[in-house]
Chains A and B, each alone.
Chain A
Amino acid sequence: MKAGKFKDILITSLIKVCGYSAIIFVGMIFVFLIKEGSPALIRVPLENFLQLRWYPIEDRFGLLPLIGGSLIVTLGAAIFSIPLGIVSAVYIAEVAPRWAREILKPLVEVLGGLPSVMLGFIGILVIVPALRQALNLPTGLTAFTGALILGGMAIPTIVSVAEDALDAVPKTYREAALAMGATRWQTIWKVTLPAAKSGVLTAVMLGVGRAIGETMTVMMVTGNAAVFPTGFGAIFKPVRTMTATIAAEMGEVASGSTHYHVLFLIGIILFLISLTVNLIAASVVFRQRKRTERILS
């Protein structure tokens, strides 16, 4: 009896430690990014970061072209993944017959599980040459190519979270609208979607958040030219994102060099962006008292 009680207490505290591990890890990630990234702020003067050239060999660490590259690719991805994602979610949740649902949901799940390196591979072999020919560009390795594939990668997140939000709208809302004589089409746009608004917003934020952090695909298909994108034509030129810069250069720098610390500094920026996006998304979720679980899977 005593031994059993002791075992229970031991296991309970072990489980408690597991429970708090998520907080510990987020803290540790932040601490180690700061530890390796902050020396960059001491060694490199601030105006160096604000120039328009990223050329580490000459100690030029302009972050603006990288931030601009990430922004333009993410924006491009958002422009078509948001409408397509929401529309697909509406179709799957509200319109599709049961059999179509059973096919569509696993298909979207498959897309979410495709490794990013494989989409980059397809991008290089199929999409890049096709775009170069179709648009008559000097190279198919452009921000647009990256945006196209990243949008595809954001879609599964948007669809599954938005669909959950639509599912969570009480059935009575729809019944009331239909009973008042509204068509199903009107019910969807005037009742169901507005009721699920905050969940759909969360879906969009998480999907776009995923696009900002994507690494391998953009490194493989955007051409990696660290040029600050200006003008409308920039979308059809090569760019280099923050994530791709870290991935491409960290393997070649000496540990402890200025360049090494600056790459960690870029990591801190990415960490802070994802932290902001997710904190806002989380606060929406908590305010709505919805289940957070499915957002993650």
Chain B
Amino acid sequence: MTAGNNFSTTVESRVLPSFSRRRKWIQRIGFTGLTLATLVTVTPILLIVIHIFSNGLPAISWEFLFEFPRDGMRSGGIFPAIVGTFWLTLGTAAFSVPLGIGAAIYLSEYATENRWTRAIRIAIINLAGIPSIVYGLFGLGLFVIFLRMGTSILAGSLTLAIMTLPVIISTTEEALRAVPNSFRVVSISLGGTRWQTIRRVVLPQALPGILTGVVLGLERAAGETAPILFTVAAFYLARLPSSIFDATMALPYHLFVISTQVPGMPIQIQYGTAVVLLTFVLLMNITATVIRSWARARRQW
């Protein structure tokens, strides 16, 4: 024990013995309360995941994953819904990734802090906050009716892409801004143009951060139901979609349908569908986490 410590304990115990002890007790009780409250917050998450896996895993079989529904969806598999969600996620990525990365490059590398840039940022915050059902209405009004795409993978993907955009823009911009400025200075001073600098120096360095953002954005899109209700989702289809102008079944909508709209649906099939959707989402979540920690460990700056 050092002299300073000795001194402070002496002062505390002589001058304010009861006061100091009381404060320590308040802190101890307070911290315990905080811990308990946090446990109340996070335990349900674990319980939900465990509940779904323990009830749904027995339903998973080769047939369940790779065959069409039979008997009014009460038996058979959910293959068309899995395929549909796969295509929708891919379609969403095709539109939102280039657009989102482009917008982030603009904000991080080109834009100066002026009124217009501020307007862009406010627009992004608003896009992030618009309710998903309003995106569904917008997709119905613009893509399905006005642009005559009908209920199709194209209309659904475009709707989901606009909804995903703010997540991709904001995470990508953060990743780009994290690249030290000296990287850019060196590239420019060696004669690189601005675009060459971005393309060859900044983007590769920011790639893991961008990937994380893209995966998290698509995770959200893959699980959404409200935006696809009127733009692409089909109750039941006897065949797989053959082009981007076809409607398709999708996992989240299928889960909604079989848990609320079809009477007498075996509980096994419901939990099985939930497990597949949850696995889809968790895999993307884990991918994002792995990319992030891998990049953090490898980063040299």
Residues of A within 8 A of B (CB): 4-5, 7-8, 11-12, 14-23, 25-26, 28-29, 32-33, 35-36, 83-85, 87-88, 90-92, 95-96, 104, 106-111, 113-122, 124-126, 152, 155, 159, 183-186, 206, 209-210, 212-216, 220, 243, 246-247, 250-251, 255, 263-264, 267, 270-271, 274-275, 277-279, 281-282, 285-286, 291-297
Contacts and interface: CB of A to CB of B under 8 A. Distances in A.
B179 to A, nearest CB: 14
B52 A118 contact: yes
B282 interface: yes
Interface stretch (B65-73, B129-137, B238-246): B129-137
Given A32-B141, A91-B37, A293-B171, A117 B123 contact: no
Interface residues of chain A: helix, strand, loop or mixed (majority): helix
Interface stretch (B76-84, B86-94, B159-167, B182-190): B159-167
B60 interface: no
Interface in B140-199: 140-142, 145-146, 162, 165-167, 169-171, 173-174, 193-195
Contact of B270 (A8, A121, A185): A121
Contacts of B114: none
A184 B162 CA distance: 44
B38 A32 contact: no
Contacts of A33: 134, 137-138, 141
Q: Name the prevailing secondary structure of the B interface residues.
A: helix
28 contacts: A4-B193, A7-B195, A15-B106, A18-B103, A19-B103, A19-B110, A21-B102, A21-B165, A25-B123, A29-B134, A88-B42, A107-B42, A110-B282, A113-B281, A185-B23, A215-B226, A243-B131, A246-B136, A250-B229, A267-B133, A275-B126, A279-B126, A292-B125, A295-B128, A296-B128, A296-B166, A296-B167, A296-B169
A178 B48 CA distance: 40
Given A25-B165, A92-B38, A286-B118, A274 B274 contact: no
Contacts of A250: 136-137, 140, 229-230
A291 B178 CA distance: 12
B194 A110 contact: no
Nearest to B26: A185
Interface in B93-116: 98-103, 105-107, 110-111, 116
B255 interface: yes
**Best-surrounded residue of B122, B129, B141, B193 (most CB of chain A within 10 A):** B129
A213 B285 contact: no
B270 to A, nearest CB: 7
A292 B124 CA distance: 10
A113 B219 contact: yes
Contacts of B167: 296-297
B73 to A, nearest CB: 15
Nearest to B226: A215
A203 to B, nearest CB: 13
Contacts of A285: 125
A115 B134 contact: no
Contact of B281 (A87, A115, A286): A115
What 10 pairs between A and B have smallest CB-CB spacing? Answer: A213-B131, A18-B102, A19-B106, A115-B223, A185-B27, A32-B141, A278-B129, A22-B123, A296-B170, A215-B226
A5 B42 CA distance: 54
Contact of B127 (A22, A36, A184, A267): A22
B99 A88 contact: no
A117 B256 contact: yes
A21 B103 contact: yes
Interface string B268-279: 001000100110
B126 to A, nearest CB: 5
B187 to A, nearest CB: 14
B235 to A, nearest CB: 9
Contacts of A220: 256, 259-260
Nearest to B280: A115
B194 A84 contact: no
Contacts of B37: 83-84, 87-88, 91
B223 A114 contact: yes
Contacts of A115: 222-225, 252, 277, 281
A216 B27 contact: no
A289 to B, nearest CB: 10
Contacts of A118: 52, 223, 252, 255, 274, 277-278
A260 B259 CA distance: 26
A85 B49 CA distance: 20
Contact of B130 (A15, A126, A183, A274): A274
A25 B127 contact: yes
